[in-house]
């Protein structure tokens, strides 16, 4: 993996770059659609390419349980198995182990857990996590980390930071493949000093990139952005910075404003399947009766193939009768919105007008619900609109 950074505005933290792997060259900042079990639900690889994506996320936990990392390796790795020719990032499965496992016991050695599928018992150590990810064959892989549920005590967060560093060292030592980039993961909950300490410890170990984990787990927007404010400056300018599992539109804007390069989230696909559609003026909840006779597209300003062909009334009908085409079309529209948003962000950074772009985004975007957690005063402070 190679990463080239270009920061056209020395007075802004937002930056653009080129992330090069053996499968793709990706302009950053960028958003990664999530295909937990391989595919992004309902879409083929050609759909994702047409939507402008060159990098997706697959989940090591889910693929380890089904169909198994050894089977994927026997099939030639994830690229051959799924038919996706672009780049792939696999997370280590640490978050899913802690959030999905029926029972979970954590020690310095690793994690013993019961599968959320059949209750079978498994043990994942840092060495096992690297074995799984190397077998899957992604371009970018993640260390095993301990994601601490919030709220919790400072002592529990401190223990998670210590164990995350220990596991990161062991993941680094366990590496065998030289054609995959390995990222460290910063933890520290909502404790600013522990975030800084975690970042410095991982930077000292020398990873190919750095992720910020343990956010978007129920904390307020203000708290999440504060943690980014203290963490991102500790990460190397020359390495990619990845904010894990965060992906509402305003989070992408605010993450870029703080120097983040990579994002992933299930939001566009999951919201699409549940009938929540993103537009330049907020969200359209397509199941609402008001759309039953609405002949307009989802978003008149959207250039996606769904808005170019189908009405809100038709999409409302598909959702209400539980037609699978509805979920597919909704997902395509949402991913187009996210791809287009990132493209416009990159152009704004290139042209040194990101600050005005950010202000215009909030003027247009419906703040009700989406921006819960920030008061109007905090919004004004963070967007320059006070």
Residue 96 pLDDT exceeds 90: no
Q: Among candidates 41, 64, 166, which has minimal Cα distance to 185? A: 166
**Active-site annotation holder among 47, 91, 139, 251:** 91
Note the pTM of the prediction, 2 decimals: 0.93
Catalytic residue flag (residue 264): yes
SS3 141: strand
Mean pLDDT, rounded, of the chain: 92
Residue 82 pLDDT exceeds 80: yes
Question: Parallel, antiparallel, or unpaired for β 121-124 and 111-114?
Answer: antiparallel
User: Residues of the chain with pLDDT > 70: what percent?
Assistant: 94
Q: Are 182 and 172 in contact (CB under 8 A)?
A: yes
Q: Check: CATH 3.20.20.105 for 31-264?
A: yes
Q: Which helix (H) or strand (E) holds 121?
A: strand 121-124
**Active-site annotation holder among 139, 251, 261, 264:** 264
Question: Where in the chain do CATH 3.20.20.105 domains reside?
Answer: 31-264
Rounded to an integer, what distance in angstroms lies between the CA atom of residue 46 and that of residue 88?
Answer: 15
Q: What is the pLDDT of residues 323-356, one digit of tens each?
A: 999 999 999 999 999 999 999 999 999 999 999 9
Catalytic residue flag (residue 294): no
The residue ranking higher by pLDDT, 27 or 380, is: 27
pLDDT at res. 127: 98
How is residue 40 annotated by DSSP?
P
Give the pLDDT mean for 114-139: 96
Q: Which residues pair with 32 in a beta bridge?
A: 264
> Three-class SS string for 221-288?
HHHHHHHHHHHHHHCCCCCCEEECCCCCHHHHHHHHHCCCCEEEECHHHHHHHCCEEEECCEEEECCC
Residue 49 pLDDT exceeds 90: yes
Residue 383 pLDDT exceeds 60: no
pLDDT at res. 9: 79
Residue 366 — pLDDT band, cuts 50, 70, 90?
low
């Amino acid at each position: 993996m190679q990463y080239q950074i270009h920061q056209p505005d020395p007075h802004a933290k937002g930056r653009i770059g080129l992330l090069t792997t053996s499968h793709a060259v990706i302009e950053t900042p960028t958003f990664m659609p999530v295909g937990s079990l391989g595919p992004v639900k309902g879409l083929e690889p050609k759909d994702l390419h047409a939507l402008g994506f060159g990098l997706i996320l697959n989940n090591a936990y889910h693929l380890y349980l089904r169909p198994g990392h050894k089977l994927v390796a026997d099939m030639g790795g994830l690229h051959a198995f799924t038919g996706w020719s672009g780049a792939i990032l696999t997370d280590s499965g640490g978050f899913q182990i802690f959030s999905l496992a029926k029972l979970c016991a954590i020690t310095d050695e690793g994690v013993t857990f019961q599968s959320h599928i059949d209750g079978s018992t498994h043990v994942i150590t840092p060495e096992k996590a690297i074995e799984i990810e190397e077998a899957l064959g992604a371009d970018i892989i993640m260390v095993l980390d301990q994601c601490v549920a919030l709220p919790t005590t400072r002592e529990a967060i401190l223990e998670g930071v210590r164990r995350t560093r220990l596991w990161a060292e062991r993941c680094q030592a366990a590496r065998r493949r030289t054609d995959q980039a390995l990222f460290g993961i910063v933890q520290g909950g909502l404790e600013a000093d522990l975030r800084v300490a975690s970042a410095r410890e991982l930077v000292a170990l020398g990873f190919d990139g750095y992720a910020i984990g343990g956010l978007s787990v129920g904390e307020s927007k203000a708290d999440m952005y504060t943690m980014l404010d203290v963490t991102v400056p500790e990460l190397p300018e020359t390495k990619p910075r990845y904010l894990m599992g965060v992906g509402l539109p305003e989070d992408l804007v605010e993450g870029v404003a703080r120097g983040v390069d990579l994002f992933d989230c299930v939001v566009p696909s999951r919201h699409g399947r549940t009938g929540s559609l993103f537009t330049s003026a907020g969200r359209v909840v397509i199941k609402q009766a008001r759309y039953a006779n609405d002949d307009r597209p989802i978003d008149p300003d959207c250039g996606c193939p769904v808005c170019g062909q189908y009405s809100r009334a038709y999409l409302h009908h598909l959702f209400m009768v539980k037609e699978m085409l509805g979920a597919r079309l909704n997902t395509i529209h949402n991913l187009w919105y996210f791809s287009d948003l990132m493209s416009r962000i990159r152009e704004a950074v290139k042209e040194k007008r990101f600050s005005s772009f950010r202000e215009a985004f909030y003027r247009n975007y419906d703040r009700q619900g989406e921006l819960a957690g920030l008061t109007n005063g905090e919004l004004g402070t963070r967007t320059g609109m006070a």
